[in-house]
């Protein structure tokens, strides 16, 4: 990554309050800002629960279809 690209990424994080930078001479140090990721983590967790439930339901549907396919396959052979 170029220095310019890195500066842009850090600048966006800094504007969002996620990091604080300090420049001493030629060295720039980044630290976590006052605004941590609690809101984002809560949002991700809500969607994680939602999608987990949806995928669990999808697994049930797939298993039921597999079961029916096996039963139908046995009927055709007989």
Could you read off the pLDDT of 5-47 as tens digits, one per residue?
A: 988 999 999 888 888 999 899 898 988 877 777 888 889 999 9
Is residue 18 classed as helix, strand or coil in its secondary structure? coil
Q: Considering only CA atoms, which of 3, 1, 7, 34 is closest in space to residue 19? A: 34
Q: How far apart are CA 25 and CA 11, in angstroms?
A: 18
pTM: predicted TM-score of the whole model, two decimal places: 0.49
> What tokens does 14 get?
């800094």
d(CA 34, CA 73): 62
User: Looking at residue 78, what is its pLDDT?
Assistant: 61
């Amino acid at each position: 990554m170029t220095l310019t690209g890195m500066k842009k990424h850090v600048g966006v994080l800094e504007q969002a309050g996620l990091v604080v930078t300090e420049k001493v001479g030629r060295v720039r140090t980044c630290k976590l800002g006052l605004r941590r990721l609690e809101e984002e983590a809560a949002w991700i967790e809500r969607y994680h629960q939602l999608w987990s439930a949806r995928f669990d339901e999808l697994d049930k549907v797939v298993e039921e279809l597999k079961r029916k396919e096996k039963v139908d396959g046995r009927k055709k052979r007989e």
